[in-house]
Structure 1
Amino acid sequence: MTHDAPALSITDLHIGFRSRRGLSTAVRGVSFDIARGETLALVGESGSGKSTTAAAVNRLLPDTAEISEGSIVVAGRDVAALAPRELQALRGAGIGLVPQDPMTNLNPVMRIGDQIAEAFEVHDVATGSQAHDRAVQLLEAVGIPDAATRARQYPHEFSGGMRQRVLIAMGLACKPALLIADEPTSALDVTVQRRVLDLLADLTDEMGTAVLLITHDLTLAAERADRVAVMQAGEIVEIGTAHDVMHAPQHDYTRRLLAAIPGTTATPRDQPASSGTESSGTGSSGAAATPLVEVRDLVKVYGGGTKAYAAVDGVSLTIPAGRTVSVVGESGSGKSTVANMLLGLVEPTSGTVLVDGQPVAGGRRALKAVRRRIQPVFQNPYASLDPRFTVGRSVAEPMGVHGIGDKASRRARVAELLEQVALPADVADRHPHQLSGGQRQRVAIARALSLEPDLVVLDEAVSALDVLVQQQILELLARLQSELGLAYLFISHDLAVVRMISDEVHVMQQGRIVESGSPEALFSSPQEDYTQELLSAIPRGA
């Protein structure tokens, strides 16, 4: 560390949001410095003020926000005093940003390489073919395979994790003095997460770049940051070295966060006794039991001729009633494609999906009947809720589609569901843009449960949640499974959570299942090199 002026200095920052009811305070008296070359992690549950604080640094707060007190100084310059042209020059070149949501921060009609090259051109770093070449180099650095070809493709041709890597490349493009990384790896599997965070660490070491890392993953923060600041209800309640915060926390809230972290060394979940099959979850030891869902030799090929690509290549698995079957693997391994074929959202190239031993027949009526029994919770809470609908309307919509109840009974059911996912009743009258990412994901889970399905397909359903809310949701899912006999297909890159909640785990790589077994077996004695690599990449903390 140098003794120069800090890369970022925030002093007594107060931020509020204006509404008809007046000014509601979101950030209260926040102060911290980040030295050049230092990484500070800002952690806390969703709605604690982390992202609001980060947005204030480069003046990206919404119009309804107001900084009532305090100062923000970046590399010796008061951000509030900058003219628009000076602010534009500071963004990108002086302050890099990796935003949280890859779905809404990439231009859908622009090639990926052109979007990265544009950052070089705007700040006069490089132009033309030189800018394009540097864009390809950045894509390679953040782990995009065949980067030259991928640079000519569009965002919809990338998986969610790969889109997030593109945003990271854009944030690093101009080698900024300060990088604000807002949940930069929440969509990434652990192996790519490690590669990306290693890249950020290398940049910090070589270029003296300061990093403000916003995350709800306290283990990741402790492993990757020099210091950790813990936020609760708009205030910093604890700040210290990563080691001290992890091993000698001073505040009750920090201790609660630590207690809620899923432990990779903890005992896996108890196997439920009521499902009628043995602990493997395959149904093989309970030969008389027909699994709720069976997938046989599913194949999904995209493209044709020499460009044909098998996203899923011969996947078979069973999901017994009342059990949790998990599928893990890197982004692009085919996990979500399997889920979408099971849900009837993607048509298989070949293979069969059976429900209660019967193949799912074609036709709208048959598909509608299956969808009442199998409900999804998708990865991205920003894209899965209609921005025009209130929360209450979104949660009630499936009941209306399936002709369940009247308006009054559906309204009562919405209130009950919101309570189950730890949201206040008045959230029903809000729109998605008025909620945090974690709150939006809880709404999506409530909507999936509205039809009382037999199987819920959870595609990265807790990846956007801080550990306290994640713990609440996982406990809720476990209780509902016990009370209602629900089955879950759990798609995740978070192996610590998978170990805690699964009856059986399938590991996918390049469209195939390469290893399957109980969580105890996979975590204690993995047989495949790829499984061992996934396990070794799990953040362990400071």
Structure 2
Amino acid sequence: MTTDPLLSIRNLSVTFATPAGPVAAVTGVSIDLAAGRTLAVVGESGSGKSTTAAAINRLLPGNGTITSGSIHFDGRDLATASERELVAIRGARIGLIPQDPMSNLNPMQRIGTQIAEALEVHGRTTGRATDRRVVELLDLVGIPEPERRVRQFPHEFSGGMRQRALIAMGLACEPALLIADEPTSALDVTVQRRILDQLDTLTDRMGTAVFLITHDLGLAAERADTVVVMYRGEIVETGPARDLLENPQHDYTKALIAAAPSLSSRELVRPAEGRPAEIGPLVEVSGLSKEFAIRSGRGRKQSFLAVDGVGFTIPRRQTVSLVGESGSGKSTTANLLLGLEDATSGSVRFDGAELVGMSRRQLFAFRRRVQPVFQNPYSSLDPRYTVLRSITEPLQVHDIGDARSRRQRAHELLDQVALPPETAERLPHELSGGQRQRVAIARALALEPELVILDEAVSALDVIVQNQILELLAGLQQRLGLSYLLISHDLAVVRMLSHQVHVMRRGRIIESGTPAQIFDDPREDYTRELLSAIPGEHRAAS
């Protein structure tokens, strides 16, 4: 049996050309990965993790260049390989699970067609065998009713389901090397466990090597053989996963571990205070339901009840969280509260006023008081707008201040979300995923709203910045009297920031309580299953 690594990177450096001059994104990186092993690369947003991964199969942005080093995969140097050689390798020998589902799925093609293409282009299956394999793959990654779902389009999937479709595409050809860039950051913990179990099966059964990029240190500790820590484009520490995470040597690694949220992390919010009954909650939801017409076989449509009789309140100055697996109805509920979807039945009252039936003028005023931060940092920013314009646009729309005061406000917000002032002049494609999400949070806070709906708002952030953002959100709530509706599959984050938690499953709320009640003494088996699936919380001794 050969001991040569499947992937061997030596002294890799990558530079990006920018208007301000060349920027070194990766400097002198060396990594070895053997067949059948999993290597996790961790580090903060902008540390060079995704750039290193993109260099492996030469999918760097147009302004990115490999300036030195080699990338040997199965004996050949991909850094100097021809485009024809790379096309034959990508997908078939090197699979990719990218971070952003919306920009990597064709909105005009059905999900099944896109997965089938990955199989047939590389000659793995044809005809009915392809159809069967596509259904198997969707079932494998936890998509319910896969026979029906293959005919749907990306916009008919939830964010987590779109991510699972990308995972199915990455696994389709059972590649020798799988590059997984935050593959489960949009997934609830139960589906995450299922996907990662499948990756483990591939490494055991087929010798697939997994190059895993993640900001989840618990996941890295539980699933990787080796962990590589990157900081500002360089590797600062490497070692066996358990050894490195339990006995870190570098100060940056120690900071990462200290910032990682867990169910034992301290709560960031103050206990709910009693208030006179006549003040009332900011939001009252009762009997809320939403039914969608979806495609079934042969062009027929059938109804799907995404939200089923949901009711809860959001008190002023408090955080209410919705948790549950992808497709449980969390994000649809948020869209109903934002007025982005019309409810099939039920009521949403904001500050005593019924949302249904509001005039255009009333809705305009309502949307100044309620701001969202969506799950996807890639599609929530206009690619043509600078960061400055993205942040100041809501101020301009609502006629707040002049150009000078808006610019000043934008710089204040960038500082609050830990971005340097020069970020203001950059375009979204020049930012990492985590940096884009921080811009989206800054934009949502620009109007100083009363309610902020956070739909997986910190799921794309590395642990250090995530901790900063959570501290920021808790501080803003206290200082400005904000209310939050937090939608998250990260139960540690929910515990840190919430006053009240509602567990959703199949469109219904099945359990409610304080964080202590939900996490320390859950009543429902489903809630216990969610808690037991959290990576790194209950690691077995090796």
Q: With structure 2 as the length reference, what TM-score do the two structures score?
A: 0.96
Conservation of the 8 A alpha-carbon contact between 1:114 and 1:132: no
Report matched runs for 1:5-24 at 5 Å: 5-24=4-23
Matched, 1:321 2:323: no
Q: Helix, strand or coil for the counterpart of 2:434?
A: helix
In structure 2, C-alpha distance between the alignment counterparts of 1:483 and 1:456, rounded to whole Å: 14
Q: CA deviation at 1:470?
A: 0.3
State which of 452, 456, 469 in structure 2 corresponds to 1:473. Answer: 469
Q: CA deviation at 1:85?
A: 1.9
1:529 maps to amino acid: D
CA RMSD of aligned residues (A): 1.4
In structure 2, C-alpha distance between the alignment counterparts of 1:96 and 1:113, rounded to whole Å: 18
Q: Helix, strand or coil for the counterpart of 2:312?
A: strand
1:71 alignment partner in structure 2: 70
In structure 2, C-alpha distance between the alignment counterparts of 1:502 and 1:270, rounded to whole Å: 7
In structure 1, C-alpha distance between the alignment counterparts of 2:478 and 2:385, rounded to whole Å: 32
In structure 1, C-alpha distance between the alignment counterparts of 2:213 and 2:483, rounded to whole Å: 34
2:423 alignment partner in structure 1: 427
1:363 maps to amino acid: S
Conservation of the 8 A alpha-carbon contact between 2:203 and 2:209: yes
Report matched runs for 1:11-410 at 5 Å: 11-272=10-271, 276-277=274-275, 287-303=277-293, 307-360=302-355, 361-410=357-406
1:473 maps to amino acid: I
In structure 1, C-alpha distance between the alignment counterparts of 2:152 and 2:34, rounded to whole Å: 38
Conservation of the 8 A alpha-carbon contact between 1:72 and 1:78: yes
Per-residue CA distance 1:497-519 (angstroms, 9 max, x = gap): 00111000000001100000000
2:421 maps to amino acid: A
1:529 alignment partner in structure 2: 525
Matched, 1:440 2:436: yes
Q: Helix, strand or coil for the counterpart of 1:81?
A: coil
Conservation of the 8 A alpha-carbon contact between 1:5 and 1:76: no
2:126 maps to amino acid: T
Q: Helix, strand or coil for the counterpart of 1:253?
A: helix
Per-residue CA distance 1:168-210 (angstroms, 9 max, x = gap): 1111111111000000001101110000010101011000000
Conservation of the 8 A alpha-carbon contact between 1:515 and 1:527: yes
Per-residue CA distance 1:436-458 (angstroms, 9 max, x = gap): 11111111111111111111000
Conservation of the 8 A alpha-carbon contact between 1:441 and 1:464: yes
Q: CA deviation at 1:138?
A: 1.1
Aligned sequence identity (%): 65
Conservation of the 8 A alpha-carbon contact between 2:322 and 2:504: yes
Q: CA deviation at 1:306?
A: 7.6
Q: CA deviation at 1:267?
A: 4.3
In structure 1, C-alpha distance between the alignment counterparts of 2:351 and 2:358, rounded to whole Å: 16
Conservation of the 8 A alpha-carbon contact between 2:41 and 2:227: yes
Q: Given the superposition, is the C-alpha separation of residues 168 and 434 from structure 1 closer, same or farther in structure 2, using an over 3 Å criterion?
A: same
Q: CA deviation at 1:145?
A: 1.5
Conservation of the 8 A alpha-carbon contact between 2:220 and 2:241: yes
Q: Helix, strand or coil for the counterpart of 1:80?
A: coil
Q: CA deviation at 1:81?
A: 3.0
Conservation of the 8 A alpha-carbon contact between 2:66 and 2:79: no
Q: Given the superposition, is the C-alpha separation of residues 404 and 86 from structure 1 closer, same or farther in structure 2, using an over 3 Å criterion?
A: same
In structure 2, C-alpha distance between the alignment counterparts of 1:349 and 1:403, rounded to whole Å: 34
Conservation of the 8 A alpha-carbon contact between 1:101 and 1:164: yes
In structure 1, C-alpha distance between the alignment counterparts of 2:268 and 2:445, rounded to whole Å: 22
2:322 maps to amino acid: V
Q: Given the superposition, is the C-alpha separation of residues 455 and 53 from structure 1 closer, same or farther in structure 2, using an over 3 Å criterion?
A: same
Conservation of the 8 A alpha-carbon contact between 1:268 and 1:520: no
User: Mean Cα displacement is larger for which, 364-373 or 513-522?
Assistant: 364-373
Conservation of the 8 A alpha-carbon contact between 2:317 and 2:482: yes
Q: What are the ranges of 5 or more consecutive residues in structure 1 without an aligned counterpart?
A: 278-285
Q: CA deviation at 1:10?
A: 0.4
Conservation of the 8 A alpha-carbon contact between 2:15 and 2:24: yes
1:281 alignment partner in structure 2: none
In structure 2, C-alpha distance between the alignment counterparts of 1:75 and 1:418, rounded to whole Å: 44
Conservation of the 8 A alpha-carbon contact between 2:269 and 2:498: no
Conservation of the 8 A alpha-carbon contact between 1:98 and 1:167: yes
In structure 2, C-alpha distance between the alignment counterparts of 1:479 and 1:141, rounded to whole Å: 42
In structure 2, C-alpha distance between the alignment counterparts of 1:437 and 1:264, rounded to whole Å: 25
In structure 2, C-alpha distance between the alignment counterparts of 1:130 and 1:309, rounded to whole Å: 29
In structure 1, C-alpha distance between the alignment counterparts of 2:171 and 2:290, rounded to whole Å: 35
2:329 maps to amino acid: G
Q: CA deviation at 1:289?
A: 3.3
Q: Given the superposition, is the C-alpha separation of residues 81 and 428 from structure 1 closer, same or farther in structure 2, using an over 3 Å criterion?
A: closer
State which of 489, 496, 499 in structure 2 corresponds to 1:500. Answer: 496
Q: CA deviation at 1:297?
A: 1.1
Per-residue CA distance 1:255-302 (angstroms, 9 max, x = gap): 0000001121234345346x544xxxxxxxx53430011111111111
Q: CA deviation at 1:411?
A: 1.3
In structure 1, C-alpha distance between the alignment counterparts of 2:195 and 2:157, rounded to whole Å: 17
Query: How many matched pairs?
Result: 532
1:347 maps to amino acid: D
In structure 1, C-alpha distance between the alignment counterparts of 2:389 and 2:271, rounded to whole Å: 35
In structure 2, C-alpha distance between the alignment counterparts of 1:464 and 1:416, rounded to whole Å: 22
Q: CA deviation at 1:63?
A: 2.3
In structure 2, C-alpha distance between the alignment counterparts of 1:493 and 1:35, rounded to whole Å: 32
Conservation of the 8 A alpha-carbon contact between 1:182 and 1:215: yes
In structure 1, C-alpha distance between the alignment counterparts of 2:278 and 2:274, rounded to whole Å: 9
Q: With structure 1 as the length reference, what TM-score do the two structures score?
A: 0.96
In structure 1, C-alpha distance between the alignment counterparts of 2:494 and 2:225, rounded to whole Å: 28
1:69 maps to amino acid: S
Conservation of the 8 A alpha-carbon contact between 2:36 and 2:209: yes
Q: What are the ranges of 5 or more consecutive residues in structure 2 without an aligned counterpart?
A: 295-299
Per-residue CA distance 1:357-390 (angstroms, 9 max, x = gap): 2323421111111111111111111111111111
Structure 1 segments, 4+ long, off by >4 Å, are none
Q: CA deviation at 1:91?
A: 0.8
1:38 maps to amino acid: R
In structure 2, C-alpha distance between the alignment counterparts of 1:391 and 1:80, rounded to whole Å: 33
1:201 maps to amino acid: D
In structure 1, C-alpha distance between the alignment counterparts of 2:18 and 2:343, rounded to whole Å: 49
In structure 1, C-alpha distance between the alignment counterparts of 2:62 and 2:270, rounded to whole Å: 51
Conservation of the 8 A alpha-carbon contact between 1:268 and 1:519: no
Q: Helix, strand or coil for the counterpart of 2:265?
A: coil
1:458 alignment partner in structure 2: 454
State which of 463, 486, 497 in structure 2 corresponds to 1:490. Answer: 486
Q: CA deviation at 1:83?
A: 2.2
In structure 2, C-alpha distance between the alignment counterparts of 1:6 and 1:477, rounded to whole Å: 45
In structure 1, C-alpha distance between the alignment counterparts of 2:72 and 2:248, rounded to whole Å: 29
1:240 maps to amino acid: G
